[in-house]
A and B are shown apart, each in its own frame.
Chain A
Amino acid sequence: MKIAVSATGTTLDSPIDPRFGRASYFLVVDSETGQLTEILDNRSSQEVSHGAGINAATKVAESGANVVLTGRVGPKAYSVLRAAGIKVVSEMNGTVQDAIKNFQSGTKSYSDGPDCDAHTSSPSPKDGWQGGMGRRKGCGRGRSGN
């Protein structure tokens, strides 16, 4: 399996880039060997005003990745990733290596929707990591637990 991780640098000990669309790089890692197989340069995304997420998701799709590990994914990027059949694990932090370990330990679950609205770096209200919270797009009811 190929794992793409949004990163601020080009090595496995680089910190995760919490932004998906405007991440500096995506590091593609082979989950069997733990080897870095490809570095996708996404720095150009930081200069465009629109559509960074769409572009980034397309790059990741073209790399043949099966899973994305990142901080937050916006709605358009998410729809591209979904169309490409790529699973998303968001709210990752630490280094790229940490994220991969964390993911492989099986404690993180896949996202079932975007984490934030377009053009924002702040996450939309979320209840935590329990599965099956719907797309968190409902109105009100921002309660936790139960």
Chain B
Amino acid sequence: MRSGEIRELDMKIAIASGKGGTGKTTVAVSLALSCDGSVAYADCDVEEPNGHIFLNPCIKGSNKFSLPVPIIQEKKCNFCGKCKEICKFNAITIFGKTIMTFPEMCHSCGGCFLVCDQEAISEDRRTIGFVEWGEAQPIDFFQGRLRVGEAMSSPLIKQVKKKASENEYEWLILDAPPGTSCPVIKTVRDTDFVILVTEPTPFGLHDLQLAVKTISKLGLPMGVIINKWGIGNEEVKNWCADQGLPILMTIPFSRKVAEAYATGQSLVQLQPELKNDFRKLLEELKK
């Protein structure tokens, strides 16, 4: 990881999970709404950002984000095959005297530009998405939006983090995508703490275990929030105790919360008394 992706801030907290639909955004939004001091919320789930639904930000600006992809000038190409060979993502193929590129497969590593000694490859730009920013008083809001059909979310996430770090905040809340793959790693890198949101079900436990493995490899401190407490069983709690993983909070399952969620209301809007709990949690993390 290149350093300097995010400048020194007071506290950067990533909200992640193995399993989808456990309540990452619910927790991230609630934390942002409960913070004392300056706060920014960045939605790094660029494939389907949904924090905006709960925060209702006024979007003030948007930047197109593009990546370099190869364009081949067939007249100059001698079909040597070096570019095809170096491309690990099959974005270039050659057979006989035909060369084809698949920009949607390209990871923009630049390898093909380097190995071509015929100067047959020039740079095209492919727009993969947008970085947007705005305000949801008192929260500064950032999000990435990947274009439908694009697969390269990590570079866009990096861009969202960069934009969010242009100013300094006491709290930067990063809402991660679900899973344990590159986009998650891109989001949680360089943060001070990772909150893993899970649910007390076998699926929740299974995917939490994967997430804990990933975050441990990155050497980041982490804690668990169990959402929808009351459904499922005790196994998540037991496992966390075995591993010595702190359970930061349990949020009881409630149909009311789900109903509010479905109308775009945040958890702390419905239950303002929880703000105190979230605030306390944040203060604990700071220590």
Contact = CB atoms under 8 A, between A and B. Distances in A.
Interface of A: 48, 50-52, 54-55, 57-58, 61-62, 76, 79-80, 83-84
A7 B235 CA distance: 45
Interface stretch (B91-99, B138-146, B162-170, B267-275): B91-99
B239 interface: no
Nearest to B98: A83
Contacts of B233: none
A113 to B, nearest CB: 17
Contact of A62 (B89, B95, B100, B102): B95
Interface residues of B, number: 12
B122 interface: no
B94 A54 contact: no
B89 A61 contact: no
Given A51-B90, A54-B93, A62-B95, 20 more contacts: A48-B90, A50-B90, A50-B105, A51-B91, A54-B90, A55-B90, A55-B93, A57-B93, A58-B93, A58-B94, A58-B95, A61-B96, A61-B98, A62-B96, A79-B100, A80-B93, A83-B98, A84-B95, A84-B96, A84-B98
Contacts, number: 38
Contacts of A79: 100
Interface in B85-128: 89-91, 93-96, 98, 100, 102, 105
A27 B22 CA distance: 47
19 contacts: A50-B89, A50-B151, A51-B91, A51-B105, A52-B90, A54-B93, A54-B100, A54-B102, A58-B93, A61-B96, A62-B96, A79-B100, A80-B93, A80-B95, A80-B100, A83-B98, A83-B100, A84-B95, A84-B98
Interface in B72-91: 89-91
A57 B102 CA distance: 13
Nearest to A63: B95
Contacts of A80: 93, 95, 100
A20 B89 CA distance: 18
A57 B100 CA distance: 12
B89 A51 contact: yes
Nearest to A64: B96
